[in-house]
Amino acid sequence: MDNEKLMHIGIRKGEVGAYAFLPGSVERASKIAEYFDNPVKIAHNREFLTYTGTLEGVPVSVTSTGIGGPSTAIAVEELYRCGVHTMIRIGSCASTSPKIGIGDIGIPNGAVRMEGTSDHYLPVEFPAVPDFFLVKELEAAAVRLGYKYNIGVSITKDSFYTEVSPHTKPVFYELENKWRAYEKGGATTTDMECAPLFLAGASLNIRTATVLICATNYNDYSNDDKDYPRDWEHRAIEVGIEALRSIIKKDLK
């Protein structure tokens, strides 16, 4: 394993830190790496772009995962094999509740398993939940930075367009009724990676959590690229960085 180059992420043990951020996009991976001390590009294969640098003098990494559960699970598995024990996803979400709006920070404390990847890790009765310590650290970081935030359940789904245009799909009736039930149950955001991240992490006995920038207001989505809140994307990154600094300090005690 020490000399093995992993098939998908293209890295070897020793090339990443024990702490890693997991954005979806390669562009966000590069943005996150700018917050590291002395970041170095390690590998770029398919959707998986990896940088390693330091925070608080400790090696940390960022690896993009692409969109959705299958590629996220691959990144988690291969980073784990390279020694990573703490993974924080920095991503985006849409609002499913008036409690969170565009530009707000979302910190999921659980995820609806409206996808298939997590079924390959743990039985459906097992909840998709993040590490509680990491969630509290992300919340504390949002408070210190003064960003409006929400902690709640996120709906993790496999298909983007069955959410934004469900009426065009043959299974519309089922999709609509499930979605209404999730909202009535109090879900506040929706994403495409939380459930598989949390359950892959649980199966490997590692710490995982997520911080998101909300890209929409409730029931207000245009599917127009110009409406994506890029000017606020840094908020989720800063919360992740601030939280990880505190996590590292507490781990070193």
Lowest mean pLDDT among 1-10, 11-20, 121-130, 169-178: 1-10
Q: Are 74 and 97 in contact (CB under 8 A)?
A: no
Looking at residue 164, what is its pLDDT? 79
- What is the sign, positive or negative, of the torsion defined by CA atoms of 102, 210, 87, 43? negative
DSSP state of 96: S
More confident position, 2 or 193: 193
Looking at residue 222, what is its pLDDT? 63
Q: What is the mean pLDDT of residues 176-185?
A: 95
Strand, helix or coil for residue 231: helix
**What pLDDT band is residue 225 in, cutting at 50, 70 and 90?**
low
Structural domains of the chain in order of their starting residue, each with its CATH number: 19-252 (3.40.50.1580)
Instruction: Indicate the length of the chain as a whole number.
Output: 253
Strand, helix or coil for residue 123: coil
Rounded-to-integer distance, Cα 220 and Cα 155, Å: 17
**What pLDDT band is residue 253 in, cutting at 50, 70 and 90?**
confident
Q: Are 47 and 66 in contact (CB under 8 A)?
A: yes
Pairing of strands 86-95, 189-191: antiparallel
Task: Specify the residue for token string 């960085």.
Answer: 241
- What is the sign, positive or negative, of the torsion defined by CA atoms of 115, 127, 211, 46? negative
Predicted TM-score (pTM) above 0.85: yes
**What pLDDT band is residue 227 in, cutting at 50, 70 and 90?**
low
**Model confidence pLDDT, tens digit, residues 45-88:** 999 999 999 999 999 999 999 999 999 999 999 999 999 999 99
Question: Which two three-digit tokens encode residue 169?
Answer: 């799909």
Rounded-to-integer distance, Cα 220 and Cα 67, Å: 22
Q: What is the mean pLDDT of residues 14-22?
A: 97
Q: Are 73 and 117 in contact (CB under 8 A)?
A: yes
Looking at residue 221, what is its pLDDT? 67
DSSP state of 83: T
Has residue 107 got a pLDDT over 90? yes
Has residue 245 got a pLDDT over 70? yes
Rounded-to-integer distance, Cα 230 and Cα 132, Å: 28
Rounded-to-integer distance, Cα 63 and Cα 82, Å: 12
The alpha helices in the chain, defined as continuous H runs, are 26-33, 69-81, 132-145, 161-164, 172-184, 194-204, 233-252
Has residue 161 got a pLDDT over 90? no
**What pLDDT band is residue 226 in, cutting at 50, 70 and 90?**
low
Question: Which two three-digit tokens encode residue 47?
Answer: 């959707």
